[in-house]
Amino acid sequence: MSSSSNGNGTPILELSDVHTYYGSIHALKGISIEVHDGEIVTLLGANGAGKSTTLRSINGLNRPRQGKISFQGRDITTVAAHEIVKRGIAQSPEGRRLFPRMSVIENLEMGAFQRSDRSEIRGDMDRVFELFPRLHERRNQKAGTMSGGEQQMCAIGRALMARPKLLLLDEPSLGLAPIFVERIFDIIKQINDQGTSILLVEQNALMALDAADRGYVLETGRIVLADKAAALKTNEQVRKTYLGET
C-alpha cells in the first residue's frame, strides 16, 4: 500500500461519462473513474470488459465520442497521443511491444525520445537499472532474446524513461512465471513509493488488489463496482468472479 496516497484533493486523472467506440461497437458506456496523486488504482474485469479500451481512451489512441478526460486539471480528451506522453502519461502496453532487434539500452532510450533534458536521461536510466538489476546485466543484449519476465521489466523501464506522473500498466503479469509476477508487483509498489501514480489493468485480481489503494470493476463497458481495494477483496461478487472462489 503506497504511503503517499491519501485520495484527497483534486484527482490527477479524471474520466467523466466516457463513451468510446470501435466502429459501431460501443465499448465504453459512460465510465467515470478517478486516480488521485500517489495512488495505485486497479481496473478489474473479464476479457472484453473494456479495460484496455479505457487505457487507449486515456493515452489518446482511441478517442472517446462522448465524455471528458482530464489530467492534472486540464482536458486531454482530444489531445494527440504523443502530446499526452509529453504531458506526463506513459504506458507499458499489453504484450510488451519492445523493439526486438534493438538492445535493452536502445529500447530504454526510445522511452525518452521526446525529452529535451538530455543531461538527466542518464540518471533516469540508472534509476531503471536500480529498479531492475537484471536489465543492467542484459543492457547490451537484444530485447527479443530475453525471457518474458525480462522483457516485461524492459517495457516498464521504457515507460519510466518518459518520466511519467501517471503510469498506465496493461497486464504486466500476463504470461509470466509466478516468481516474476511477484517481482514485477514488488517493483510496481516501489515505483509508486517513489511518487508515480499508477493505473493498473491486471488479470491477476488478487495481486492487483494487494498492490492497489482502490479498484473499479468493469463489466461490458460499465463500472459495476468501485471501492477501496481491501473492501473489494472481501466482496462476495469479486471473490466469486475474479478470485476464483466458489
Please report the pLDDT score of residue 9 as a whole number.
66
The runs of H, that is alpha helices, within the chain are 51-58, 81-87, 104-111, 118-131, 133-137, 148-160, 178-193, 205-211, 229-234, 236-241
Do 171 and 84 lie in one domain? The reply is: yes
246 pLDDT higher than 70: no
Do 99 and 154 lie in one domain? The reply is: yes
Q: Cβ distance 28 to 54 under 8 Å? A: yes
**Does 112 fall in a domain?**
yes
Q: What's this model's pTM, rounded to 2 decimal places?
A: 0.90
Q: Pairing relation of β-strands 166-170 and 89-92?
A: parallel
Please report the pLDDT score of residue 121 as a whole number.
86
Nearest to 138 by CA among 114, 154, 119, 124: 154
Please report the pLDDT score of residue 219 as a whole number.
94
Do 47 and 141 lie in one domain? The reply is: no
The pLDDT tens digits for 153-166 are 999 999 999 999 99
Return the residue matching grid coordinates 532474446: 145
Do 77 and 199 lie in one domain? The reply is: yes
Do 151 and 31 lie in one domain? The reply is: no
Calculate the alpha carbon distances from 212 to 2, 123, 175, 238 in Å. Answer: 8, 28, 21, 15
Average pLDDT over residues 221-227: 96
Report the distance separating Cα 104 and Cα 109, nearest Å. 9
7 pLDDT higher than 70: no
Report the distance separating Cα 111 and Cα 166, nearest Å. 14
- The b-or-e profile of 33-57 (16+ CB within 10 A means b, else e) is bbbbbbbbbbbbbeeebbbbbbbbb
Q: Cβ distance 7 to 38 under 8 Å? A: no
Neighbours of 119 (CB within 10 A): 7
Do 35 and 15 lie in one domain? The reply is: yes
Domain count, the chain: 2
Q: What are the cell numbers at 178? A: 509466478
The pLDDT tens digits for 168-205 are 999 999 888 888 889 889 999 999 999 999 999 998 89
Do 112 and 228 lie in one domain? The reply is: no
Do 74 and 100 lie in one domain? The reply is: no
Do 107 and 158 lie in one domain? The reply is: yes
Do 110 and 174 lie in one domain? The reply is: no
The pLDDT tens digits for 110-128 are 988 877 787 888 889 999 9
Report the distance separating Cα 82 and Cα 114, nearest Å. 8
**Does 4 fall in a domain?**
no
Q: Give residue 56's domain range.
A: 10-88+164-246
Average pLDDT over residues 215-224: 95
Do 173 and 140 lie in one domain? The reply is: no
Beta bridge partners of 90: 167
- Greatest pairwise CA separation for the chain in angstroms: 55
In this structure, what are the phi and psi dihedrals at residue 228, rounded to the nearest 5 degrees? -60, 150
Of 162, 184, 209, which one is at a domain's C-terminal end?
162
Sheet holding 66-71, edge to edge: 25-36, 11-22, 66-71, 74-75
Please report the pLDDT score of residue 156 as a whole number.
93
Report the distance separating Cα 167 and Cα 37, nearest Å. 12
Calculate the alpha carbon distances from 119 to 29, 122, 124, 125, 127 in Å. Answer: 44, 7, 10, 11, 14
- What three-state secondary structure class fits 224? strand
**Does 139 fall in a domain?**
yes
Side chain identity, residue 17: D
Q: Cβ distance 104 to 135 under 8 Å? A: yes
